[in-house]
Amino acid sequence: MSMPKGYLASETSVHFMNYHFVWCPKYRRKLIVGTVESRLKELIHAKAKERGWIVLALETMPDHVHLFVQATPKDAPNRIVGAFKGYTSRILRQEFPELKSRLPSLWTRSYFVSTHGHVSSETIKKYVEEQRGI
C-alpha cells in the first residue's frame, strides 16, 4: 500500500504534520539583516536537523521570520517554535553582543502557527517565498 504524497510513516503512525510559524523580535525591531540574518538561517537549519524536522521554506524579513517546517506527531507546535526561538536567541545574543545591549530578550513571547489542512504544501511554500517581495 502506498501513502499519499507528503505523508511520512514511523513505527506507530502515518502523519503529515507541517506547520507555518511566524515570530518577531522584541518591539518588532528591524534587526534581522546582514550577518544576523544569515546566521539566523544557519541556526534554524541546524536545530531542525538536530531534532529531525525538515525545513520546507524559510524567509526572513527585517522584523519577522516565516518558517514552514515538517515535524512528527511527537512534537507539539509550542515546543517546536520554543526550540527555534530559544536556541537562536541564545546563540545570536552570544555572537552579536549589540543584540544583548539593545533588547532584554531577542524574541517576543508570541508567535503565529497554522497547519494547512485546506491548502497544499506548495501553496504555503509559495506564500512564504513571496514574503520577500512585499
User: CA-based diameter of the chain, in Å?
Assistant: 57
The β-bridge relationship of strands 54-61 and 17-23 is: unpaired
Q: Catalytic: which of 27, 87, 111, 127? A: 127
Q: Which amino acid is at 122?
A: E
Separation of alpha carbons 88 and 44, rounded Å:
7
19 is catalytic: no
Separation of alpha carbons 88 and 80, rounded Å:
12
**Would you name the residues annotated as active-site residues?**
127
